[in-house]
A and B are shown apart, each in its own frame.
Chain A
């Protein structure tokens, strides 16, 4: 059964397999020797999870405005099951870190992440959340990449990324959720910078 999903690629309903810009990279994430036989039940669970990813209402700067635009009627990411913004971390599946995380905000973000129930996923949206972005140099107050605080599944570059980019990132996350049992969990960046 695992041969099937690798041979045919990881398919999601939202986007055609051939339309992804890069399919090989995702397949390198698959654990070597991860030939565990997945049950049909697991397949169904992952299918369900990947098609109802509920984000947490969390935005700290201009990327948040793009995220709201993505949720609004023109781009409407509810089409893909990224349905409602949840105001409580207990009900959310994904936290989209949309914006700059300063040192003072980091403990709050960590607590929100800890309060989310498993399985939980993180999208780092925009240059600030990916690497500190424009605040990388000569700044005393900004976390250089949110992966220093919480493990990140998908990175979306851009300053801020357009709604299309967020949708693309979300679809990459959906593919990753489908591979949930077969890829390593993301790790926290332990370097100084």
Chain B
């Protein structure tokens, strides 16, 4: 499927999706409640067949938190990026896609571990790198640790 058709497809699925310009990949900012619906649809449809999640990252934008998903299709070779902004810093959460892509399982645990974003219905939402009793989420911009961190 060519890029223009792919863009139209996403816009018809979620009219609120914002297309970002001048990016390496076709990339959309998607509301967190609609996100899972889009991915489910794009994965199961014959003509898009996004069967491969090749990156999942968490970002602290300063004000918002963000989860970035890179999807691609091994059948057609096209790629797409979804970004989900989460404005609630106290209790950020987004639906899991670990049941659709097994790769997402550890990625989501990593994002939870370092940024504190919870993935609903994940099933095994616990820390992956840090100790179980670690306090706080170290990759957040407002993370403070006066004992261990030497500020430059």
Contacts and interface: CB of A to CB of B under 8 A. Distances in A.
Interface residues of B, number: 12
Contacts of B138: 140-141
Nearest to B131: A104
B1 interface: no
Contacts of B130: 104
Interface stretch (B33-41, B50-58, B73-81, B141-149): B141-149
A137 B150 CA distance: 5
A136 B150 CA distance: 7
Contacts, number: 23
B151 A138 contact: yes
Contacts of A144: 150
Contacts of A141: 138, 148
Interface in A134-152: 136-141, 144
A140 B145 contact: yes
Interface in B103-152: 129-131, 138, 143, 145, 147-152
Interface residues of A, number: 10
B50 to A, nearest CB: 34
Contacts of B152: 137-138
Contacts of A136: 150
Contact of A138 (B129, B131, B147, B150): B150
Interface string A106-146: 00000000000000000000000000000011111100100
A143 to B, nearest CB: 10
Interface in A1-25: none
A11 B149 CA distance: 43
A138 B129 CA distance: 18
* Of listed A136, A140, A144, residue having the most chain B CB within 10 A: A140
Contacts of A140: 138, 143, 145, 148-149
B139 to A, nearest CB: 9
Interface string A166-193: 0000000000000000000000000011
A96 B75 CA distance: 47
A133 to B, nearest CB: 13
Contacts of B151: 137-138
A193 B149 contact: no
Nearest to A139: B149
Top-10 shortest CB links A-B: A137-B152, A140-B138, A137-B150, A140-B148, A140-B145, A140-B149, A138-B152, A138-B149, A136-B150, A193-B150
13 contacts: A137-B150, A137-B152, A138-B149, A138-B150, A139-B149, A140-B138, A140-B143, A140-B145, A140-B148, A140-B149, A141-B138, A144-B150, A193-B150
